[in-house]
Structure 1
Amino acid sequence: MPSATTDDGVRLHYEESGTGTPLIFVHEFAGDHRSYEAQLRHFGRRYRAIAFNARGYPPSDVPESVTAYSQARAADDILSILDAIGAPRAHVAGISMGAFATLHFGLRHPDRALSLCLGGCGYGAEPDRQEMFRAEAEATAEILRRDGMEAFAERYAYGPTRVQFETKDPRGHAEFKRMLAEHSATGSANTQAGVQKGRPSLYDLQDALAQISVPTLIVSGDEDWPCLAPSLMLKRVIPSAALAILPNTGHALSVEEPDAYNHLLDGFLAQVESGRWPMRDPRAVSTTITGIRG
């Protein structure tokens, strides 16, 4: 199995399909590389499509110490994949936890990113909800250590932004829950305690976000409640960003609405590759409503 080794010695499993410009997919907390099977099949026809398992997600290594997990390491693990395949730059697309890693990759290594696609990016980012999110991350880690993955999956798969998937695609949702139950309880608990709980609020990064010039697409489901306001903020602050909202959709974009997600990403990548992705026109930013003052 192909793998990359990080600068701290963690082995990351990845799978790929196709040839051409690299397109790296970064999974969410409740997913793994299998969450992108529809994308590997679709984009592997035109790109070198790659999906990898984050640290803590077998067959990638599962470090035992929480200190081996952080937002910075999650971003730099993308760089390790890019270095392992010998490519100078790549398009990077992430969902949820993977979207945070993708965004931080763009902040830390902008010269290595051809584009960024941020799906479902925003859990716990709002200033008035950050402490609640951190408390829930700690509680989730404790539940994982105490009860194990199967019991955790039975609860987590039916959250308020997951039931949309079950309603529209019970078979797909059952597969999602089964794969979640196969994850490492230790790796998942450490991910919650080290990455999720410790990551900075997006709202504290607005000065840095305003400097991003890498083409960026933000995607959110309209029932992915914790991500709607942060997605609007990201659109407003990042001058190279566009925002797309999928109707009647929750959090697991790539598996819940694979065709719609692929269509959006296809169009975005085509514009980027043709050199037609725009920076925001400064005239679009105004302190008035209509642009007319009395």
Structure 2
Amino acid sequence: MMERVRLSNGVELHYERAGRGTPLVFIHGAMGDWRSWEAQWPAFTAGYDCITYSRRYSFPNRNDMPSPDHSALHEAEDLRLMLDALDVERAILVGSSYGGFTALALAVSQPQRVRALVAVEPPMMRYAELSEAGRTARAAFRRETIEPANAAFRGGDDELAGRIMTGGINGAQAPASSPQQMQRRLQNLRAMRMLALSTDEFPLLAPAQLAALPMPVMLLSGESTAPIHREIFANLAEAMPQATVLRVPGAGHGVSREQPGFFNERVLDFLKRVA
């Protein structure tokens, strides 16, 4: 059953909680919401106290406060305050895309709150700058996706912007979205807009900070992911030699959605061993 919590900073978050055991929080990507983890819910609630929630500007939250520099740092602070409100001292974090970025941001700022961390292709754009291939991929992604999508957002055509961003993020090899998936993305256009028009949507988490994280970390990427994600992931994995790194066959950017059985099995096995 979906519930709502109001944080001490005035933000409201909708969430669902089920299961028993070690607390585990699922964190969705840029155009997802609390429903994004349906394919994981039965497998994980069988052994964990699971929470899936909608981030600040995602459906069905009604937060409308301005945030011109909105980023994963704000989302991480919301996550910390939600853990406080729900009396969760330490949790396992499982995040996809911008949710993975959010999880890493909390781990850097509050490592004592994170028992273990699983991140699927966090879009930490500044890591593309660490290699020539990454710089080339970033330039193409900015030219072909970010700039036209931002122009559409500024022009008031949020639906067009959302479709451009969806195509650019998922890549040409991604399976076609179902009508239900597209409808959910359209419900979360405001969340994408707040990031797209932010002055710093991809703040730097320094390589030294990530390499020093004390908790077990697993990084996942789809073997068929878009070039921008492939290059960012390669540089991120190099910066985190302590992490368990897994590239998932038959998947693009949406690993947990595209290969849920494989994802569930491997992540649960990792958590059983380390957490």
TM interval, shorter chain, is: 0.7 to 0.9
State the match for 2:132 in structure 1: none
State the match for 2:244 in structure 1: 242
Contact 2:95/2:101 (8 A) holds in 1: yes
**Number of aligned residue pairs:** 265
Deviations 1:228-262 (A, max 9, x none): 23323333332430100011321112211111111
Q: Aligned AA for 2:272?
A: A
Alpha-carbon distance in structure 2 between the residues aligned to 1:10 and 1:231: 31
Q: Aligned AA for 2:259?
A: E
Q: Aligned AA for 2:179?
A: A
**Is the alpha carbon distance of 1:130 and 1:156 closer, same or farther for their aligned partners in structure 2, counting shifts above 3 Å?**
closer
Correspondence for 1:194 among 194, 198, 201: 198
**RMSD (Å) for aligned C-alpha atoms:** 2.5
Name the SS of the counterpart of 1:38 in structure 2.
coil
Q: 5+ residue gaps in structure 2?
A: 130-134
- Deviation of 1:147 after TM superposition, in Å, equals 4.8
TM-score (norm 2): 0.85
Correspondence for 1:144 among 144, 148, 153: 153
Correspondence for 1:175 among 163, 173, 180: 180
Deviations 1:126-168 (A, max 9, x none): 11366776775465344235354544444444347344442xx
Contact 2:101/2:124 (8 A) holds in 1: no
Alpha-carbon distance in structure 1 between the residues aligned to 2:67 and 2:142: 15
**Is the alpha carbon distance of 1:134 and 1:103 closer, same or farther for their aligned partners in structure 2, counting shifts above 3 Å?**
farther
Correspondence for 2:232 among 230, 233, 243: 230
Is 1:39 aligned with 2:40?
yes
State the match for 1:282 in structure 2: none
Contact 1:138/1:192 (8 A) holds in 2: no
Alpha-carbon distance in structure 1 between the residues aligned to 2:214 and 2:161: 40
**Is the alpha carbon distance of 1:155 and 1:133 closer, same or farther for their aligned partners in structure 2, counting shifts above 3 Å?**
closer
Higher relative contact order (CA 8 A, sep 6+): 2
Name the SS of the counterpart of 1:233 in structure 2.
helix
Name the SS of the counterpart of 1:230 in structure 2.
helix
Q: Aligned AA for 1:263?
A: E
State the match for 1:158 in structure 2: 167
State the match for 2:64 in structure 1: 63
State the match for 2:265 in structure 1: 263
Q: 5+ residue gaps in structure 1?
A: 274-294
Deviations 1:190-218 (A, max 9, x none): 122238x432245xx11211211210000
